[in-house]
Structure 1
Amino acid sequence: MAKAAGGGPDNKPSGKGAASRNTSRGAASSKKPASGKAGSPNEDVDAALVEEAPPSWKNAWPFFAAAGFVGLVVLAIVLSSISRPAEERVSDDARVQYAINDLYTAKNGPNYAEYRANTCEADLNKPGFPAEAQFVAENQASLDKNGHIEIPEITDLVVDGDRATAKVHWHYKNTPDDKQVVETTVIRENGEWKVCSS
């Protein structure tokens, strides 16, 4: 049986004819359409993709500007909070509790200067207010015998202008079941809260 010219056993092209056909096909696919003539849709899409410039950082400047603005606002808030004195960032309730805690911490020291710093002027001027030697001796003896004073809670805290009242719940470390409750008055003097006996 005769085979078709230029064909192989399965009628596949072979020899010079096949080569010339493959070459001509490759050449045809690599040719660009002549100017003024429309190419195939695929060639138009490929050309558009090649001609489109890659994104530039200049196109993103609005995003960077917005991010920078938000960053500046956050920074301004943080700096404003940090630059304010600590006293302005704390409520009166918290300041009253700090004054009470500082007074008892001074007893635990014993630290006479801290004790005086957290005591109101009226108490400091009373005839029975202890001198430093007496304060240190009495509180050191209590510390040796009973351990530190511990304050598990301060309750019923009421601030009324420059005066506050609270109930201080405390006990010695060595006798945790012997709980004490002391009605405490705290007054504001020259902008600072001080513990007062009345």
Structure 2
Amino acid sequence: MAKRADDQGRSESGGRSDDQMTPAPSWKAAWPFLVALGLVVVAAVGISISYLIRPADDRMSTEAHIQHAVNDVYTARNELDYTRYREATCAAELASDSFPDEDTFVEQNRVSFEENGQIVIPEISEIDVNGDRATAQVHWHFDETPDSEQVTDVVVVREDGDWKVCTS
């Protein structure tokens, strides 16, 4: 039996082809995808809420806190900010007879800045934490002399939950 051109798309039994017989998808087939989407949304909302409730300082690692303490001291020197410098320095250092007063601090750092430029810290490495005490190597140079990098060992201690730079 030969097929005519107008019979294309019909099977020999006269019904529809397989493409035309597939049923429309039901909502039951979509449930696994909807449940997975719901779980992803709940997880994303939970993570977002935890970031909003928990301060950024609590989410940082101990090493990051130490790096911030070291950066605070050097930034205070660059900005001639005595208050910030004091806040980033440990209590033993503040009580020391050799700790500079504000005028001395500003004058020493202004002279250094005028002669050499700002202090730049490209790296803080070899952070070794032992309880509430840590050491780190600060790689630094002056703006005006980037090729003469120096490495300074720095002691950092935790006081009242905050890391502070100390000389020993």
* TM-score computed with the length of structure 2 as normaliser: 0.80
Which amino acid in the other structure matches residue 78 of structure 2? N
Q: How far apart in 2 are the matches of 1:169 and 1:61?
A: 57
Please say if 1:143 is aligned against 2:117: no
1-side partners of 2:36 and 2:61: how far apart? 35
Deviations 1:59-90 (A, max 9, x none): 53453233212321232133324432212211
Mapped to 2, the partners of 1:148 and 1:129 lie a distance apart of 21
C-alpha distance in 2 between matches for 1:65 and 1:180: 57
Deviation at 1:155, TM superposition (A): 2.5
For residues 24-47 of structure 1, the C-alpha deviation after alignment (integer angstroms, 9 at most, x for no partner) is xxxxxxxxxxxxxxxx9734x34x
Aligned residue for 2:63?
A: 93
* One-letter amino acid matched to 1:166: A
Cα distance in 2 for residues equivalent to 1:95 and 1:194:
9
Among candidates 83, 105, 118, match of residue 75 of structure 2? 105
Aligned residues: 159
Write the distance in 2 (CA, Å) between the matches of 1:74 and 1:125: 48
| Cα separation, partners in 2 of 1:146 and 1:61, compared to 1, 3 Å | same
1:10-29 equivalent positions in 2, closer than 5 A: none
**1:152 maps to which of 116, 119, 122:** 122
> Among 187, 194, 197, which residue is 2:157 paired with?
187
Q: Secondary structure at the match of 2:69?
A: helix
- Cα 1:197/1:51, change in 2 over 3 Å: closer
Report the Cα distance in structure 2 between the residues aligned to 1:52 and 1:147, rounded to whole angstroms.
76
Q: From 157, 169, 188, give the equivalent of 2:139.
A: 169
Give the alignment's Cα RMSD to 1 decimal.
Answer: 2.7
What are the residue-to-residue correspondences of 1:66-85 with 2, within 5 Å?
Answer: 66-85=36-55
Aligned partner letter, 2:107: A
Q: What is aligned with 1:42? A: 13
Give 2:74's aligned amino acid: Y
Matched residues in 1 for 2:22 and 2:142: separation? 80
Match of 1:20 in 2: none
Counterpart residue number, 2:8: none
Unaligned runs of 5+ in 1: 1-39
Instruction: Name which structure has the greater RCO, CA cutoff 8 Å, separation 6+.
Output: 2
TM-score after normalising by structure 1: 0.69
